Structures are given as structure tokens and as C-alpha cells.
Structure 1
Amino acid sequence: MNHACFPKAVLFDLDGTLLDSAPDMLAATNVMLAARGRAPMTLDALRPHVSKGARAMIGAAFPDVDVAEREGWVPEFLEHYGSELGRHGAPFDGIEAMLTTLEAAGCIWGIVTNKPEYLAAQLVPLLGWEDRCAVLIGGDTLPVRKPDPLPLLVAAERIGIAATDCVYVGDDERDIVAARAAGMPSVVALWGYRLPGDQPADWRGDTMVEQPDMLCDAQRWPSP
């Protein structure tokens, strides 16, 4: 007999896991490039860097600029990104079906992202998730962020579910490192953003999943 069941709670990374936010990020990046008289980037060129954060995207757009100078451009990038927020990106195909399936099974879900909390909090209602997402932890909600496990542990505490009874889903190695340190089973989201040299099989996630709708099957989830 098959006793597979959905987790009590699932925590998700946001960019590259729930949300294909690369088009919004590209729009912000290209505003910065245009302001400096440079040609726009393509989506294919930027996409692998999105899960690595603002500094990685600025670095990909301006590889010839000194790192210290680029650091000073982060607020500018975030300002432009805030103007483009939710205008071009959308949840990955299959995300809505997966979330609906989890909810129907009585599973609580939330978001733990390294995106600044104020930006993530603006996105959630744009996606229609404000009454569905049980907890939101951003990259600046706490003194530390992923790969530190604290954001995952605090999220589990806020929804009242033991970390070991939650599953974390993410597309970046730091997601899986954080989950392992939190004692939380993990799913590697292979549909997300990865650099060419990334080796997800080496991240030691509990399972790897190719497409979001595969998680509509309880058997695809790791057991606590």
C-alpha cells in the first residue's frame, strides 16, 4: 500500500523557484545599461544569475567595472527593479496547480527569500497570494540570510510547524545548504536559474524535481 503524503508545511524560495522574475530583473538591468550608454542584455544572458542576487546581476551586466564601484550601484538597481516589479515576470508554469494541490491537502506554505522583505511583500499581493502565503521572510528580515538556516527556522516557528516537518524548495545551492543546516528536508527545483557550472546533484538535496507540476504527486516529496 502506498502511504505517500504531502508535507505538513512547505517553504519556498521565491525568485527562480515560485516566480520567473528574470524578465523584471532584465528590465531593471537594461535601464542601468542604457543610462551608461551600453547595449541591453538578453534574457538568456541574465537568467542564470538571477538567483545569485542583485550584485551578481550587476556583475554580469558590468563585468569590466570594479567590484567596489558596482557595490554602490545596488540601491540604484533595487530602485529600478521596484519600478518594474511584477510587470514582466510570472509564476513558473505549474506553480499554481502545485500550490492549489498543497492547499487542498491541508498543507501550509510560505516563502523564505533573500530578496529584501519590502520587495517580496509587494510581490505577494500582485501574485494573488496575500491570503494564501502563511509566512514571508526576506533577506533583511533577520540579521542573517540563506545559506544560514535561521530564516528557515524562524519561518517554521512562525507557522507553528517543527522544522523537521517542513520541506524547503529552492533552485540555488544556498537554499539546500540552509535546509540541511535547519534539519529540513529539501527539494532542488531544477526548473530554476543556474549557472552553467552548477552541479545540483552535488548539493545533497533530498530530491530533485524537473517541473513544478510534478510536485502535485505526493510521492515526489521527501519524507520528513
Structure 2
Amino acid sequence: MQSPQAILFDLDGTLADTAPDLAAAINSMRLKRQLPPVQYNSLRPFASAGARGLIGAGFNITPEQPEYEAMRVEFLNQYESAIAVHSNLFRHVPDLLRGLDVMEIPWGIVTNKAMRFTKPLIPLLDLQESRCVISGDTTAHAKPHPAPLLEAARQLGIRAENCWYIGDDLRDIQAAEAAGMTSIAAAWGYCGATEPKHWKADAIIDSPLELLELVRAKHLQTAGS
């Protein structure tokens, strides 16, 4: 692993704990159908998997089923109406971002969340200092395709191989590998159905401060070489 010239982050489950509002949207849909709410801990692991994962967890419905598309639209509308009621940055993420700023390492966001949601959410989470925000519909492809990560590198003016990408889902690691970036698994996030140790990431970190220490160590190593 070489010292990064830029750091790119996934949003949901990496920088921000958005699961409470995503889970609330599912349970609002269940309430309308006179169904009992799903336990939050059962929905949380699917928060990085978008509508597909959450609708699957909340209703056991897959995209192949005829009712899925209408439920997807309903879910997105419900989420949009209460997008940042309980969402917050994970603990120590502000410290991490301030530390990168001190080291003059630019950072950006690459998420599969559509711009419809990222545009209002980023300022509400106080992430507007991000040097780029690549949403799920910014390019023709979403992660795990490398196109969003490559677009972020292009916007930053930094070669992809000089970027680190941090995410809490297997798709993030796959996208980073396909883009030629250093891949780092954020084990504090939602992580989905498989454990990060199985993702073949270049590194696994347990906290934002651990990432900051890793960046500092690589930065000092490069400066001293």
C-alpha cells in the first residue's frame, strides 16, 4: 500500500449511519399494510444494499417479482420524505476528515445513492466540503462497476492507482479492485451478509481513527523515503 494522494469514501455505512432512516421507511410501509415492524437490527445489515436489500429484508420480495417495482418507488418516496431524521456521521468521522484536511489530502464520496438523495443529504450531514460527490446515477454504471470511482479520480485530477477507496460492502471492494485503487473495508459499517475478512480487501479497519492513523503512517513513510 502506497501513501494515498486522495481518499474516496462510500456514504451509507462508511461515513454516515443512515440505517435508522432507511429502516424507518421500510417500517412505515409495513405499518400502512397493518404489518408489525421489523426489528431494527434485522434491517441494519442491509442498509448499504439499497432498495433491493431493504425491501428483500422487510418484505421478502425480490426484483423479479411483479410487485417489486411499485414497492421500490414507494420506499424511495417514503425515504425521501424523512431522509435525515435520525441519520448522523459515525463517531470520529469528523476527526478523520479534519485530519485529512490537515494533511492536505483531498477526499470525496462515491455512493450508489441516487443524486435525488445525495444532493439534499450531503449538506444535512455536514459533508459539503467533499471535493467530489459521485452518485449512483452520475455515470452509466453503479458499483461494483469501476466507472463511478474512475469518474471521481478524474474529477479530482488524480490517477486511480493513487487513490484509496473505503467502503462497508463487498461491492465497494470489488469496485476499487476493478478501478485499480487500494481497497479498504470499513468494518464499523453495515457489511451486509458476509464478513469483511472474506472480501480480499487490501486492508480492514475497525474505526475511522484507525484509518487516519494508517494514512498518517503511509504519509510519513513516503516523506521519509
TM-score normalized by structure 1?
A: 0.91
State the SS of the aligned residue for 1:72: helix
What is the CA distance between 1:67 and its match in structure 2? 2.8
Could you tell me how far apart the structure 2 residues matched to 1:55 and 1:107 are?
34
1:85 paired residue number: 83
Matched to 2:174, the amino acid is V
Segments of structure 2 that go 5 or more residues without pairing to the other structure are none
Calculate the TM-score normalised by the size of structure 2.
Answer: 0.91
Asked whether 1:22 is paired with 2:19, we answer yes
How do 1:1-224 residues align onto structure 2 when only pairs under 5 Å count?
7-63=4-60, 67-130=65-128, 132-195=129-192, 197-217=193-213, 218=215
| 1:216 shift after superposition | 2.1
1:37-67, Cα deviation, whole Å (9 max, x unpaired): 1011221010011111111101111116873
Q: Secondary structure at the match of 1:67?
A: coil
Helix, strand or coil: the match of 2:66? helix
Pairs aligned (count): 219
Residues 1:181 and 1:75: Cα distance change in structure 2 (over 3 Å): same
Q: Which runs of 5+ in 1 are unaligned?
A: none
Distance 2:120 2:203 in 1: 31
Cα offset for 1:173? Answer: 0.6
Q: In angstroms, what is the RMSD of aligned CA positions?
A: 2.1
Is the 1:19–1:89 contact (alpha carbons within 8 Å) kept by the matching residues of 2?
A: yes
In structure 2, the CA distance between the partners of 1:140 and 1:221, relative to structure 1 (3 Å rule), is farther
CA contact (8 A) 1:9 1:108 kept: yes
Secondary structure in structure 2 of the residue aligned to 1:110:
strand
4+ aligned runs moved over 3 Å, structure 1: 219-224
Residues 50 and 57, structure 1, Cα contact 8 Å, conserved in 2? yes
Identity of aligned residues (%): 42
Change in CA separation of 1:221 and 1:117 when aligned onto 2, cut-off 3 Å:
farther
